[in-house]
């Protein structure tokens, strides 16, 4: 069931999303060569507490082995697509780091992700990030009441594939509100004009995951980390978006 939010509920959810955006901005500034993703995770947890919020991901259980996620942020490096577990390995010049982060605040969730270039990255890697972020922007523009759900999906796939990249199909975006994951699921691929009709009051997390090579991914033995099957780079951007009578509003915008 898709849960529509009132304007007041969207205002409350926007507060959670603002916290997410602020903390991701701090992570972006701190993520440099020599810094570990565990250090970034610790920083994010401390800032979450200062805001009086609750981490959204820590303790969430995975499907399959049902292993609780052990960290506050998902930190995915290079060929890691999503759900990377923070580690003591320092980031290196040329890496890319995808950080997915969410909080619960005043009963509502916010969720966002950004991929950060570390130092001087290769030109083709920088292009991957630009294409992924642009595909998210195009998807947001389709998040208009009256459109179909797959109009969002098609906006991502058509642009990404026109640039020679592939869209991950094993993971999708989602509705979000008083629960972290609500209906509907939002794939990043598909023909336009299909699925439920978008309505005022829907709040959705749109999150393209784009690979340099194959769209196929594997999940490591830790039960969480998804990696590209061919070992090539992957990027991930995400925003929480409210569908309003005046068009889409990006709640996690910095």
The three state secondary structure string of the chain is CCCCCCHHHHHHHHHHHHHHHHHHHHHHHHCCCCCEHHHHHHHHHHHHHHCCCEECCCCCECCCCCCECCCCCEEEECCEEECCCCCCCECCCCCEEEEEEEEEECCEEEEEEEEEECCCCCHHHHHHHHHHHHHHHHHHHCCCCCCEHHHHHHHHHHHHHHCCCEECCCCCEEECCCCCCEEEEECCCCCCCCCCECCCCCEEEECCEEECCCCCEEECCCCCCEEECCCCCEEECEEEEEEECCEEEECCCC
**Which pLDDT belongs to residue 215?**
98
The residue range of the domain holding 217 is: 7-250
Q: Is residue 69 part of a domain?
A: yes
21 is a domain residue: yes
In this prediction, residues 51-60 reach a mean pLDDT of 96
Per-residue confidence band for 129, with pLDDT thresholds at 50, 70 and 90: very high
pTM (two decimals): 0.96
Residue 183 lies in a domain: yes
Report the CATH number at residue 181.
Answer: 3.90.230.10
pLDDT of 64 above 70:
no
Cβ of 47: how many Cβ atoms within 10 Å? 17
With 70 as the cut, is the pLDDT of residue 63 above it?
Answer: no
How confident is the model over 153-188, as pLDDT tens digits? 999 999 999 999 999 999 999 999 999 999 999 999
pLDDT at 105: 98
Evaluate whether residue 190 is within a structural domain.
yes
Evaluate whether residue 195 is within a structural domain.
yes
| 203: its two tokens | 């709040």
The Cα–Cα gap between 130 and 115 comes to 10
Domain tally for the chain?
1
Cα 171 from Cα 121, distance rounded (Å) = 26
> Is 241 part of any domain?
yes
Q: Is residue 2 part of a domain?
A: no
Would residue 236 count as lying in a domain? yes
């Amino acid at each position: 069931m898709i849960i529509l939010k009132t304007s007041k509920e969207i205002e409350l959810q926007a507060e959670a999303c603002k916290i997410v955006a602020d903390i991701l901005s701090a992570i972006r500034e701190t993520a440099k060569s020599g810094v570990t993703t565990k250090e970034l995770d610790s920083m994010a947890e401390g800032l979450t507490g200062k805001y009086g919020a609750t981490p959204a991901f820590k303790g969430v259980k995975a499907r399959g082995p049902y292993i609780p996620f052990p960290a506050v942020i998902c930190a995915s490096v290079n060929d890691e697509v999503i759900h990377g577990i923070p580690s003591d390995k320092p980031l290196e010049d040329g890496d890319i780091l995808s950080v997915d982060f969410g909080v619960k605040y005043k009963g509502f969730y916010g969720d966002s992700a950004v991929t950060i270039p570390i130092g001087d990255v290769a030109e083709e890697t920088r292009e991957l990030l630009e294409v992924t972020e642009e595909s998210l922007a195009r998807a947001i523009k389709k998040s208009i009441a009256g459109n179909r759900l797959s109009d969002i999906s098609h906006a991502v796939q058509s642009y990404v594939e026109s640039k020679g990249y592939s869209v991950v199909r094993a993971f999708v975006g989602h509705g979000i509100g008083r629960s972290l994951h609500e209906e509907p699921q939002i794939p990043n691929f598909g023909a336009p004009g299909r699925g439920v009709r978008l309505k005022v009051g829907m709040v959705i997390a749109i999150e393209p995951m784009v690979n340099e090579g194959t769209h196929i991914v594997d999940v490591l033995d830790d039960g969480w980390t998804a990696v590209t099957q061919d070992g090539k780079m992957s990027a991930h951007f995400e925003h929480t978006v409210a569908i309003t009578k005046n068009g889409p509003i990006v709640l996690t915008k910095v």
